[in-house]
Amino acid sequence: MNSSSGRLSDLYREEIYRTLFDLPEREQGTGPGNTEIWLNEYAALLTDFDEALKKLAPLSKEEQPCKVVYGDEAVLFCADQSLIEYLSLIEDLIKQHFPTVQKISFSLDYDPETSDKWVNADTEISGDVSQVIEWEDSFITEWVSKVPYPERDKIRLLCDIM
Amino acid sequence: MNPRDFLDTAKELLEKDNPANCRSVFNRSYYAAYNVGVNLLEDAGITIKKNASGHGEVSKYLGNCGIREIKEAQSKLSILAGQRIKADYRLSEKVVEKSQNAEKALLTSGKIIEAFTIFSSNDGKEKIFQGVNAYNKTIKSASKHSTSK
């Protein structure tokens, strides 16, 4: 949990305990067993609230989920060339090998000199150059081991270091 | 000339950080690695066409030579080729105008060349020749099989 949600959670926790112990009518005429039930209910409430806060609180750049954009032409090309399985594989491998990936955009590209076509996986990554090269090396090793030629040449990772 | 000299040109270009120079770094980095790849294949006894289709041939042979290190270098070369197309033709693409991306292309080209150089010994070239030969035979056999059907 990040610090802002932690502060909010603490405030909420305080409020709950104040409510619990400042309500004499709840305490009067009830046995100790009821207080225990209330405490358990409040504990469950606190847990739920913590979970809700985690979802609502703004995340740091590193914590934000990677945004993935599929261009229509890229998807059609992959479907036509039987590459769909590799499209999802490359997405998984990018997320796995580049821990700071922020966005992946799949788009169709072609070579004006030869008319060859392929899909670019334009990938926004934060980090320094040598770190990104290291990540790319491990990505390539797995990509080449899992995808045959020429399929692996038809979807290409392009890193954009932010 | 030695295609590795293109890397020196790329380094000089990178010293002055501007969009045109960064784009040119991608171009020189690709051609340095591509031409070292062409030389490696030709020295191994494999003929590469001297026109635009040569790029595809280099990819195809290196990508199917059966040597893991060369296949990985080829995959990086294809990535560099895609970036080179962006740098040379897609003038609205800002990604190839950033110095950190250009620097990465230059360093990657150096690594590709390093991998090719390891296999430039007689033993390495023989392995590449055998690998490409085996690939060509498989293709011919598959082609005959599909024609006879």
At position A111, the amino acid (one-letter code) is D
Residue of A113, A150, A158 with shortest CB distance to B79:
A158
Question: Locate tokens 């784009």: which residue?
Answer: B23
Please answer whether residues B95 and A157 qualify as being in contact, where contact means their C-beta atoms are separated by less than 8 angstroms.
Answer: no
At position B130, the amino acid (one-letter code) is Q
Q: Are strands A117-125 and A155-161 parallel, antiparallel or unpaired?
A: parallel
- Whole-number pLDDT of residue B119: 97
- Whole-number pLDDT of residue A47: 77
pLDDT greater at residue A78 or residue A23:
A78
**Chain B residues with CB-CB distance to A122 below 8 A:** 95
Query: ∠ CA(A159), CA(A142), CA(A130), 5° rounding?
Result: 40
DSSP codes, A62-120: TTSPPEEEE-HHHHHHHHHTT-HHHHHHHHHHHHHH-TTEEEEEEEEEE-TTT--EEEE
Compute the average pLDDT of residues A22-27: 53
Please tell me the distance in Å from B91's CA to the nearest CA on chain A: 14
Given a cut of 80, is residue A96 above it in pLDDT?
yes
pLDDT greater at residue A40 or residue A151:
A151
C-alpha distances in Å from residue B137, one per residue of B13, B64, B144: 44, 12, 10
User: What are A111-142's pLDDT values in tens digits?
Assistant: 999 989 999 999 999 999 999 999 999 999 99
**pTM of structure:** 0.80
- Whole-number pLDDT of residue A89: 98
Interface test with A, best of B68, B101, B111, B138 (most A CBs within 10 A): B101
Q: List the single residue in B with minimal CA-CA distance to A133.
A: B104
Please, which pLDDT band fits residue A40 given cuts at 50, 70 and 90?
confident
pLDDT greater at residue A64 or residue B139:
B139
Given a cut of 60, is residue A4 above it in pLDDT?
no
Give me the count of residues in chain B. Answer: 149
pLDDT greater at residue B102 or residue A22:
B102
Please, which pLDDT band fits residue A48 given cuts at 50, 70 and 90?
confident
Compute the average pLDDT of residues A80-104: 97
Query: What's the mean pLDDT when you consider all of chain A?
Result: 83
Check B60 against A113: CB less than 8 A apart: no
Helix (H/G/I), strand (E/B), else coil: A159: strand
Q: Which of B45, B37, B98 is nearest to B70 (CA)?
A: B37
Check A129 against B104: CB less than 8 A apart: yes
Given a cut of 70, is residue A57 above it in pLDDT?
no
Q: Which of A64, A108, A90 is nearest to A147 (CA)?
A: A90
Please, which pLDDT band fits residue A44 given cuts at 50, 70 and 90?
confident
**Chain B residues with CB-CB distance to A136 below 8 A:** 76, 108
**Chain B residues with CB-CB distance to A120 below 8 A:** 82
- Whole-number pLDDT of residue A16: 62
Contacts of B36 (CB under 8 A, 6+ apart): B3, B4, B112, B113, B116, B117
- Whole-number pLDDT of residue A8: 55
Query: ∠ CA(B99), CA(B101), CA(B107), 5° rounding?
Result: 100
Beta-bridge mates of residue A120:
A107, A156
DSSP codes, A32-49: HHHHHHHHHHHHHHHHHH
**Separation between Cα atoms, residue B106 and residue B9, nearest integer Å:** 10
Structure token pair of residue A46 = 């606190």
Check A150 against B63: CB less than 8 A apart: yes
**Separation between Cα atoms, residue B105 and residue B22, nearest integer Å:** 10
CB atoms within 10 A of CB A108: 16
A–B CB contacts, 8 A cutoff, strictly below: 73
**Separation between Cα atoms, residue B6 and residue B11, nearest integer Å:** 9
**Chain B residues with CB-CB distance to A143 below 8 A:** 75
Low-confidence residues of chain B: pLDDT under 50: none
Interface test with A, best of B77, B79, B97 (most A CBs within 10 A): B79
Dihedral sign computed on CA atoms, order A69, A73, A79, A83: negative
Of all residues in chain A, what percent are helix, strand and coil, respectively (each to 5)? 55, 20, 25
Chain A CB within 8 Å of residue B71 CB: yes
Count of alpha carbons within 13 angstroms of residue B30, beta-carbon side: 23
Question: Locate tokens 């590459």: which residue?
Answer: A83
